[in-house]
Structure 1
């Protein structure tokens, strides 16, 4: 029912008969991009968990999969909840989150209803023209973590509010700096309310 993996995949993992898998947490890092055995082991891991319904995926894993095994990503038909945690202790200027990797992964999630992501995704990726099927027709809840209120983060909000037909709730967890800046919160809220006019039933909340 539940599977958690933190590994460099130094050893081969053989996952069999996991059709009942409900939730998984994957934190996989490659020791060297020249290590030839890693891609095959990563592919086998992906195949073993593709029935999962709820997945927590650390950003380094997302980046590794995108770099090494993107062409072999299976389709996750059962996955309805995806969480990409925000890493505590990161500096405010961290750009480790790769938007391109996320967008390519979302294209394999046909029935995703809940998405939780950090605000600090890489703004330089050419991702805005990609709209996965799940965002258009399935995604009901988006939760954005550690929002600082930058222009780049507002682009994220515009992206989700502008490309979905069924979005019901956007929850924004503010960073400490944004929590202390009431004027900035008000400005962001006004911009968000303007964006969501086409989605009158969508609730946008700041926490």
Structure 2
């Protein structure tokens, strides 16, 4: 079953904290778009999702002060398109992002990356099932969020990065030299043409022998930038 929702909410002086609840035990695919409020002068309201069998979730919305409550235990694929409402950055999306922790394929739009970078105040959950990540960004916030997402996604296999930023330096923290980490570092080196310096900070428990091997492996990677220098620290 597929369920699509698109609505415009209107300001209600009697009940300004009105909440929408989408609750269904059989929906498999859920698409919710709540972006019209900006054009109709209305105020975004709180929304919650009680849809434990949804496997495909597409959500476009403006932020609220309170994060949506999510019951999405069966989630396999999610696309988030979140926006600040009138540049209000006091919201918190921690509960929403935590509700996606079982997802296998995650697509974050550029505006969503900015929102999460600023408003996921409780920190990111561990995405143990996340295999495919599509990550888009036009602003600087991605440089903070992407390393955190990679760190929190131990089984990530495929990373698609789309950014218009001209990045010259990249820092990677607490590197263990795991195959999954090396795969993502290689991807970044091959796709970032303006990169000049990569600083790899190894985990505290890594001994000198492993650090030397890590350095040798990194220096063998192809790179899009002819100016690239790799520093293992």
TM-score category, normalised to shorter length: 0.5 to 0.7
TM-score for both structures, normalised by structure 1: 0.56
1:4 aligns with one of 46, 58, 64: 58
Q: Tell me, yes or no, if structure 1 residue 104 matches structure 2 residue 148.
A: yes
For the Cα contact (< 8 Å) 1:8–1:30, is it kept in 2? Answer: yes
For the Cα contact (< 8 Å) 2:89–2:119, is it kept in 1? Answer: no
Change (3 A) 1:7 1:132: farther
| Higher RCO (CA < 8 A, seq sep 6+) | 1
For the Cα contact (< 8 Å) 2:192–2:225, is it kept in 1? Answer: no
1:13 aligns with one of 68, 84, 87: 68
State the superposition RMSD in angstroms. 4.2
SS in 1 for 2:116: helix
- 2: distance between equivalents of 1:163 and 1:80? 26
- 1: distance between equivalents of 2:141 and 2:56? 26
Shift in Å, 1:113: 1.2
Change (3 A) 1:66 1:164: farther
Q: Tell me, yes or no, if structure 1 residue 64 matches structure 2 residue 107.
A: no
TM-score for both structures, normalised by structure 2: 0.51
Name stretches of at least 5 consecutive residues in structure 1 with no aligned partner.
87-93, 173-187, 196-207
- 2: distance between equivalents of 1:124 and 1:189? 10
Q: Tell me, yes or no, if structure 1 residue 118 matches structure 2 residue 157.
A: no
Higher-Rg member (1/2): 2
Specify which structure has the higher proportion of strand: 2
SS in 2 for 1:138: helix
Aligned pairs, number:
158
